[in-house]
Amino acid sequence: MSNRNYVGVAAIVTVLAFVAMFGIFANLQPAGAAPLAAITPVASKAPLGTGDESVLIKFYDGESLTADNQECRNLKEYRVIDLEYVVDHGTVNTTTVTLEHTNGAGSSLAVNTTGQTVVSASAADADALNTFDLYGVTTCVDINVVNSNAITWTIYGLARK
């Protein structure tokens, strides 16, 4: 074979090599950024929508009680309540306060379901602010006293959606 044949074969091989290289490289896409990480949800008890979605409820407002008592409200639109109480024991009268829930009309229903304990066996002046879950249509604040000595209760709730 002559030198011209070698040059011709080399030229053809070189052209085919370039076509193959550029044909392969033409189909490659440039590297992009990695996909974003999945969003991690964060639990929150804050209102879920926009605007003011809460309501202030006065269950007891400095009321002097000498017997068991119950105040009920329709809170079916709300999911939690920030319940604040202040108790003034003028005399000894041990008291327990619970939340009761029902799908009925509160105290007119024969049985309310006792829910969370707000205050257990209170025998001294006290105050607190805690969050409680709401269930059913009606929520009642139930105050049970052990004797007829006067005791003063203030209980407000901030119901939140």
pLDDT along the chain (161 residues), means of 10: 64 67 58 60 50 87 94 93 94 91 65 81 92 91 93 95 91
pLDDT of residue 16: 66
Domains along the sequence of the chain with CATH: 54-160 (2.60.120.660)
Instruction: Indicate the pTM of the whole model.
Output: 0.64
- Tell which residue, 144, 148, 155, has the closest CA to residue 69: 144
pLDDT of residue 158: 96
Query: Which residues lie across from 84 on neighbouring strands?
Result: 129, 156
Find the DSSP H helices in the chain.
3-26
Burial class (CB in 10 A: 0-12, 13-18, 19+), 107: middle
